[in-house]
Amino acid sequence: MAIEAARLSPSLAAAAAFLGRRSPPTAPLLRRLCLLLPRRSLLASASTSSSRASSGGNGRVVALSSSELRKRRGSTSSTPTPGEDDKLRSLRRLFARPDIAIDAYIVPSQDAHQSEFIAECFMRRAYLTGFTGSAGTAVVTKNNAAFWTDGRYFLQAEKELSHDWTLLRSGNHGVPTTIEWLNDVLPSGSRVGIDPFLFSSDAAEELKAAISDKNHELILIRDFNLVDEIWGGSRPAPPKEPTRVHAIKYAGVDVASKLSFVRSQLDENGCDTVVISMLDEVAWLLNMFKMDYF
């Protein structure tokens, strides 16, 4: 019977060995051991992993939010640091201005050239959230603040985001996109604001169409960026160092030849003009180099 108990569950091995050295126990005692010990083992396992997951009422393991993880690990105090959420409060105050009047604001990582690696003065998302990785999107509503990033930065985001932010791990099963999240948390007929200079035309049109499913309206705030408004005088100045022209030994092809090639491609495709906005493409076309921008 002791051997059979060990075969039923590895956690019974020690108990089985102990019982084998004693007089044979009664059948009711063995039944109680088989029922009790695996449950204790499961509870012990759950308690040791409580910093990562919580057991739901139906026995399933449920992933915890980043803020709850930090609470359980004791990495944040129960009392917020004074001034910790000043940036969010300041941003939300702007929502109520008559010339703005929005319910949510999206802050991407890119600059107006859609660059991923940008000058410090354009690191609006990093300033607002405190997250210093190169990729991520922040969305602030009147009552919520959510941040999306990819698997490269999950651990870094857990450490750098304050308890005011909800970390949404892009690509994980069941994690909503920014659009899905907005459609879920906002009441019908809300106004979602963006800085149109930080979105491509396609991205803005896609966003506009997707949120219209819940009767939301996309608001293009062209005259100023809301994060710049709260950043104020502490915002770093744009880079002012002059660019320089790459020598041919580095560039490989002179500017005139590159322009001639671009124009030939325009003629072949029946076009009159092309707009080149990506900084690396501008730099390549004109053989320009400027180290301090990146």
Structural domain including 263 reads: 244-293
Considering the domain architecture, whether residues 262 and 198 belong to the same structural domain is answered as no
Supply the pLDDT for residue 73: 52
Residue by residue, DSSP assigns 58-126 as: TS-EEEPPHHHHHHHHT-S-SSPPTTTTHHHHHHHHHHTSTTT--SEEEE-S--TT--SS--GGG-HHH
Considering the domain architecture, whether residues 119 and 195 belong to the same structural domain is answered as yes
pTM (2 decimals)?
A: 0.68
Considering the domain architecture, whether residues 96 and 223 belong to the same structural domain is answered as yes
Q: What's the CATH number where 93 sits?
A: 3.40.350.10
Considering the domain architecture, whether residues 140 and 115 belong to the same structural domain is answered as yes
Considering the domain architecture, whether residues 93 and 27 belong to the same structural domain is answered as no
Domain end among 234, 252, 284: 234
Q: Which residues of 59-71 are buried (b: 16+ CB within 10 A; e: fewer)?
A: eeeeebebbebbb
Q: Which residues of 73-87 are buried (b: 16+ CB within 10 A; e: fewer)?
A: eeeeeeeeeeeebeb
Q: Residue 168's beta-bridge partner residues?
A: 148
Considering the domain architecture, whether residues 252 and 280 belong to the same structural domain is answered as yes
Is residue 171, in this structure, part of any structural domain at all? Answer: yes
CA angle 263, 271, 222 (to 5 degrees): 100
Place of tokens 């739901």: 56
Considering the domain architecture, whether residues 91 and 204 belong to the same structural domain is answered as yes
Considering the domain architecture, whether residues 163 and 288 belong to the same structural domain is answered as no
Is residue 74, in this structure, part of any structural domain at all? Answer: no
Domain end among 234, 257, 273: 234
Instruction: At 206, give phi and psi (nearest 5°).
Output: -65, -45
d(CA 165, CA 144): 8
Considering the domain architecture, whether residues 188 and 261 belong to the same structural domain is answered as no
In the chain, the number of structural domains is 3
Considering the domain architecture, whether residues 225 and 97 belong to the same structural domain is answered as yes
Is residue 78, in this structure, part of any structural domain at all? Answer: no
Is residue 146, in this structure, part of any structural domain at all? Answer: yes
Domain end among 198, 213, 234: 234
Per-residue pLDDT of the chain (294 residues; tens, 9 = 90+): 444 444 444 443 444 444 444 444 444 444 444 444 444 333 333 344 444 444 444 444 444 555 555 555 554 444 444 444 899 999 999 999 999 999 999 999 999 998 878 999 999 999 999 999 999 999 999 999 999 999 999 999 999 999 999 999 999 999 999 999 999 999 999 999 999 999 999 999 999 999 999 999 999 999 999 999 999 999 999 988 888 888 999 899 999 999 999 999 999 999 999 999 888 899 999 999 876 544
Nearest to 148 by CA among 110, 122, 178: 178
Considering the domain architecture, whether residues 34 and 157 belong to the same structural domain is answered as no
Supply the pLDDT for residue 279: 86
Read off the tokens for 168. 């949404």
**145 Cβ contact partners less than 8 Å away, ≥ 6 residues apart:** 88, 138, 139, 164, 165, 166
